Chain A
Amino acid sequence: MKKYISQVVVAVVCALLGFLLAYQFKLLNTQEKRITNNQSYNQQDLTTEIEQLKKEKEDYEKKNNEILRQLKEYENAAASKDDTTKELKKQLDDTRMLLGSVDVQGPGIVLYLKPKDNVFSNNVVTQYLTDNELVYIVNELFFSGAEAISINDKRITMQTGIKSSSGNSFILINGEKISPRERITIKAIGEKAKLIGALDFPGALDFNQLVYYEVKRDESDNIKMGKFSKMFKYEYIKPIK
């Protein structure tokens, strides 16, 4: 009897060992499969995928513009019926303009920021712009009455976030990249005198890395600015009734 018990126990223990071995091998096999799947993304696949996605994005933008144009036509047709709809349409158009969903034009300034060439001052290490400097400029402009601002033709809206990548190789605005190593164009539409006054104020543009940038300013009576072509998100905010 004792012999049987001991044999059974030995069998159970061996079963446990077999189970552990099989399980471990299975686990390692599935892990390897997962890893080899990831490694099949070599550089060529990535570049072709990026090209394809860029082309898709362009196609979608074209379609989007076309649909917006049709929408405008329908709205105009509907609003030409009576005065209340005309008033509503006007409010709708104004709201859209302020949100950044339509192209706008108006008087204002254009700022060009270019990294200074190190030709004359070799011991000045060029630090590049980060999100802090851009946010500072946008804040100054809004504070001086800018009604619309765009950076490198990307419209700044109330849901726009500006963030540098780690290592500052690029800055993300509205999810799109701009490079701080090349010229950055900031357009602002508003009252020209106030905007110019704010920027010319002594020390206004002496913020962090801006001192390493050459700032050129143009004024114009007709600055054109593109619209914010993505969708706004409002899944969390709800109006209070």
Chain B
Amino acid sequence: MIAFIGLLIGILIGIFWDVNIPDKFSPYMSVAILACLDSVFGAIRASLSKNFHADIFISGFFGNAALAAALAYLGDKLGIPIYMAAVIVFGGRIFDNFAIIRRLVIEKAKSHE
């Protein structure tokens, strides 16, 4: 739906717009992207179980991204790869959300027959 269209538009902008974000931010960008992906999967699951609240989604999106970037930065300064924690947790949550989405979709498909 709209979210998908928004995603496509964003990808197109990313390909064609030559922004110069300073290179030192790029490791933090990766972790932030992971956090955003996790938020999106959570949102998809919430909308499938009719539980979606936009404000929770948005606050989770930006909050998680900011926290993940901050943790990565802190880990850089301290010399501990703290970003690992973000990677493992967000990766785990993406898989969990995906499993729930999968179940919901299959149940919906079954109940439609």
Contacts and interface: CB of A to CB of B under 8 A. Distances in A.
A15 B6 contact: yes
A8 B13 CA distance: 17
Given A22-B15, A23-B19, A27-B26, A17 B10 contact: yes
B10 A14 contact: yes
Majority secondary structure of chain A interface residues (helix, strand, loop or mixed): helix
Nearest to B13: A19
A14 B14 CA distance: 12
B33 A18 contact: no
Contact of A10 (B2, B21, B33): B2
B2 A7 contact: yes
A26 interface: yes
12 contacts: A5-B54, A6-B54, A11-B9, A14-B7, A15-B6, A15-B10, A16-B10, A18-B11, A20-B29, A22-B14, A24-B26, A27-B26
B90 interface: no
Given A18-B7, A20-B29, A10 B54 contact: yes
Given A11-B6, A18-B11, A23-B29, 5 more contacts: A11-B5, A15-B10, A20-B10, A20-B33, A26-B15
A68 interface: no
A13 B13 CA distance: 13
In the A-B complex, the 4 residue pairs with the smallest Cβ-Cβ separation, listed nearest first, are: A22-B14, A18-B10, A11-B6, A6-B54
A20 B37 CA distance: 11
B86 interface: no
Interface residues of A, number: 22
Contacts of B40: 14, 17
Given A7-B2, A10-B6, A20 B32 contact: yes
B8 A18 contact: yes
A76 to B, nearest CB: 60
Contacts of A5: 54
A186 B56 CA distance: 80
Contacts of B6: 10-15, 18
Contacts of B21: 23
Nearest to A20: B33
B11 A22 contact: yes
Contacts of A11: 2-3, 5-6, 9
A17 B7 contact: yes
A23 B36 CA distance: 14
A23 B2 CA distance: 21
A15 B13 contact: yes
A21 interface: yes
A9 interface: yes
Nearest to A6: B54
Give the interface centre of A20, A22, A24 by most chain B CB atoms within 10 Å. Answer: A20
A11 B14 CA distance: 15
